[in-house]
Amino acid sequence: MEMAACRGVWVFAEQTHRKLMSVSIEMLGCGRKIADKLNTDLTALLLGHNVRDLADQLVAHGADNVYLAESELLTFYHSEAYATIIGELAKKHRPEVFLLGSTSTGRDLAPRVAAKLCTGLTADCVSLDVDERGQLLQVVPAFGGNVMATVLCPRHRPQMATVRPGVMKTPTIVEGRHGEVVEIPVDLKQEDFNIKILDVVTEEPRAAPIDTAGVVVAGGWGVGNIDDWRLIEELARSMGAAVGATRPAVDEKWASEDQLIGQSGKTVRPRLYVGVAISGAMQHLVGVQDSKVIVAINKDPNAPIFKAADFGIVADFRDVVAALADEVRKLK
Amino acid sequence: MDKHALEEALRIKERFGGIVTAISMAPLTATDSLREAIAIGADDAVLLSDRSFVGADTLATSYVLAAAIKKLGKFDLIFCGNQSLDSGTGQVVPEIAEFLGVPHVTYARKIALLDGGIARVERALEHGYMLIEARMPLVLSVVKEINVPRHVSLMRISGAMQAEVRVWTSGDLDVDGGRIGLLGSPTQVADLFLPAIKRRGEMLSGAPDRVSKLLLQRLRELAVI
């Protein structure tokens, strides 16, 4: 797209079962700041069926405009229909920035739209800002996780980025804010597409939620096997904590995807985080850095996590974790 | 090489017939991992390797992969792992599908083929799943829960180490030189930095029970336990 002609910040307002996802509200807060710095409008894209009443919430949380596309076809996320509508809107209105929550929907939709527009997309950003030239600064962990990278999209528009839920703060509601709702006519039919959504089924999560827990005990690759993973769960139980995990621990199936902490998982902000047998790759640390107190237990004295911890214990966790659980129980 | 993606392709081949081709865009050192794919059961393997591909972001990578798939000809299903190993961004499936002009489904956890060239797919969501019917040709990414990859003996793998892997460079593909590699990538790394971390950094030591007591004392002083 011709760069100079591109103006405006867009946020995809994801809804499911006619409820807005919390990450979409978080993206509005982030998008509002970026739009103000660029001295431009913030537009929310709302697609669904009978979702008009959600537009007020989008305006109250910072949107200047809401593009509202309603059709029965859009009741649930339909990759072809959503990408077609958003791609055409973007070609017509030419936004300079387009932000989406990195949910199962956002991760599926954003690349399809980016390819339609032949533009760049940075996934799972941990911070977003604007430089003095008005370029979007997209920060992600890089190269195995020891450093952070600032990514730019210098010659293509829109600059697209996704952010995981919980990374950005929820903006406060401004009562009495005014915004314009623009209805986007939808003349697409199911017959136009190659995929069809038959049903959406909800299943209960397996583990205690880590993103709302006051105390989180997390384990990493160094735990070594599923039997020793029980020690992590035992320590968590003694502390009334939720159990978190790094990507390698989830890949080993010691823990579920729900328990993943970090860039591509959840961001946690407990009062106490205990990282056990975790070396401390940046991809994990970005998800725990807002914890009030960080404790690290690792047998390698040079593990990077010790530099990010308030208290460190250099030991084989198998020696310490049971003793620690015993001492915690004595406190009660 | 995503073993779950390959396994799913092999299971469909064993049931319905067809040819499984393994494709990867990587340095020449990845030849052995494609030979391993042949040992596991792939009929054919293509490695996309060229200095001009180096530094590609996901859009430029997807563009080259789509060009290679076009050159291979007609296909029914393309399986990818859920995340690429080096970047973990999971963007290539929707991007390849868009470049090929076919539908895509990400996070597939169950796939059944119906009559009339339709695939019925359970797509994993945060808490549950979406049931989708998609017309083939179709590009899919699979989650690891979809199957347990077969075990292949070391002997069979070493036996395949002479297997032929076709290597295609940019000259073999119908690609625009301005859309590949670092220069063809919309996203660019502008800066690398170490984040500032301000923490107490107090190391505690002693026997397990002693160090545990010491830690809990500190945590109580800070009123976090």
Q: Are residues A271 and A127 in the same domain?
A: no
Half-sphere exposure of A40 (CA within 13 A, CB side): 19
The SS3 assignment for B111 reads strand
The closest alpha carbon to A111, from B142, B129, B22, B186, belongs to B186
In one letter, which amino acid is B3?
K
State whether A195 and B134 contact (CB < 8 Å).
Answer: yes
Interval A168-198: pLDDT, tens:
999 999 889 999 999 999 999 999 999 999 9
| Burial of residue B88, with CB atoms counted within 10 A of its CB: 0-12 exposed, 13-18 middle, 19 or more buried | middle
Q: Are residues A286 and A185 in the same domain?
A: no
The answer to whether position A282 is within a domain reads: yes
- Residue A215 pairs in a beta bridge with A272
State the nearest Cα–Cα gap between A318 and chain B, in angstroms: 10
User: What is the arithmetic mean of pLDDT over A288-309?
Assistant: 96
The residue among A131, A143, A195 with the most chain B CBs within 10 A of its CB, best to mutate, is A195
Phi, psi of A142 (to 5 degrees): -135, 165
The answer to whether position A200 is within a domain reads: no
Rounded distance between C-alpha atoms, residue B138 and residue B101, angstroms: 10
pTM of the model: 0.91
Q: Are residues A250 and A111 in the same domain?
A: no
Residues of B with Cβ-Cβ distance to A122 under 8 angstroms: 187
Task: Judge whether A235 and A276 are in contact, CB under 8 Å.
Answer: yes
The answer to whether position A92 is within a domain reads: yes
The SS3 assignment for B32 reads helix
In one letter, which amino acid is A166?
G
* HEC readout, chain A: CCHHHCCCEEEEECEECCEECHHHHHHHHHHHHHHHHCCCCEEEEEEECCCHHHHHHHHHCCCCEEEEEECHHHCCCCHHHHHHHHHHHHHHHCCCEEEEECCHHHHHHHHHHHHHHCCCEECCCCEEEECCCCCEEEEEEEHHHCEEEEEECCCCCCEEEEECCCCCCCCCCCCCCCCEEEEECCCCCHHHCCEEEEEEEECCCCCCCCCCCCEEEEECHHHCCHHHHHHHHHHHHHHCCEEEECHHHHHCCCCCHHHEECCCCECCCCCEEEEECCCCCHHHHCCCCCCCEEEEEECCCCCHHHHHCCEEEECCHHHHHHHHHHHHHHHC
**CATH code assigned at A323:** 3.40.50.1220
Q: Which residues of chain B have pLDDT under 50?
A: 85-86
pLDDT value of residue A208: 76
Instruction: Strand A272-276: give its sheet, edge to edge.
Output: A242-245, A215-219, A272-276, A293-298, A311-314, B202-204
pLDDT value of residue B109: 95
The answer to whether position A201 is within a domain reads: no
Q: Are residues A142 and A222 in the same domain?
A: no
Mean pLDDT for all residues in chain A: 95
State the nearest Cα–Cα gap between B193 and chain A, in angstroms: 5
Rounded distance between C-alpha atoms, residue A30 and residue A331, angstroms: 42
Q: Which domains occur in chain B, in start order?
A: 3-179 (3.40.50.620)
Task: Judge whether A204 and B130 are in contact, CB under 8 Å.
Answer: no
Interval B95-150: pLDDT, tens:
999 999 999 999 999 999 999 999 999 999 988 999 999 999 999 999 888 999 99
The SS3 assignment for B105 reads strand
The answer to whether position A94 is within a domain reads: yes
State whether A142 and B224 contact (CB < 8 Å).
Answer: no
In our burial notation (b when 16+ CB lie closer than 10 A, e otherwise), range A116-148 reads bbebbbbbbbbbbebeeeebbbbbbbbeebeeb
User: What is the arithmetic mean of pLDDT over A109-135?
Assistant: 96
CB count within 10 Å of CB A314 equals 18
Interval A89-104: pLDDT, tens:
999 999 999 999 999 9
| pLDDT higher than threshold 90 for residue A236 | yes
State whether B193 and A150 contact (CB < 8 Å).
Answer: yes
Smallest CA–CA distance from B196 into chain A, residue: A308
The answer to whether position A20 is within a domain reads: yes
Q: Are residues A264 and A135 in the same domain?
A: no
Task: Judge whether B204 and B87 are in contact, CB under 8 Å.
Answer: no
Q: Are residues A12 and A153 in the same domain?
A: yes
State whether B201 and A312 contact (CB < 8 Å).
Answer: yes
State whether A323 and B59 contact (CB < 8 Å).
Answer: no
Note down the domain range covering A42: 3-192
Q: Are residues A187 and A244 in the same domain?
A: no
Residue A205 banded pLDDT, cuts 50, 70, 90: confident
The closest alpha carbon to A243, from A7, A117, A235, belongs to A235
pLDDT value of residue B83: 62
Rounded distance between C-alpha atoms, residue A125 and residue B190, angstroms: 15
State whether B130 and A76 contact (CB < 8 Å).
Answer: yes
For B166, which DSSP code? E
Q: Are residues A168 and A229 in the same domain?
A: no
Q: Are residues A119 and A183 in the same domain?
A: yes
In one letter, which amino acid is B59?
L
**CATH code assigned at A60:** 3.40.50.620
The SS3 assignment for B73 reads coil
State the nearest Cα–Cα gap between A61 and chain B, in angstroms: 24
User: What length does chain A have?
Assistant: 332
What's the token pair of residue B69?
């798939």
For B84, which DSSP code? -
Rounded distance between C-alpha atoms, residue B78 and residue B136, angstroms: 10
Q: Are residues A130 and A222 in the same domain?
A: no
Task: Judge whether A317 and A223 are in contact, CB under 8 Å.
Answer: yes
What's the number of domains chain A is made of?
A: 2
- Give residue for tokens 């591509």: A264
Residues of B with Cβ-Cβ distance to A322 under 8 angstroms: 208
Q: Are residues A239 and A149 in the same domain?
A: no
Q: Are residues A169 and A221 in the same domain?
A: no
State the nearest Cα–Cα gap between B1 and chain A, in angstroms: 15
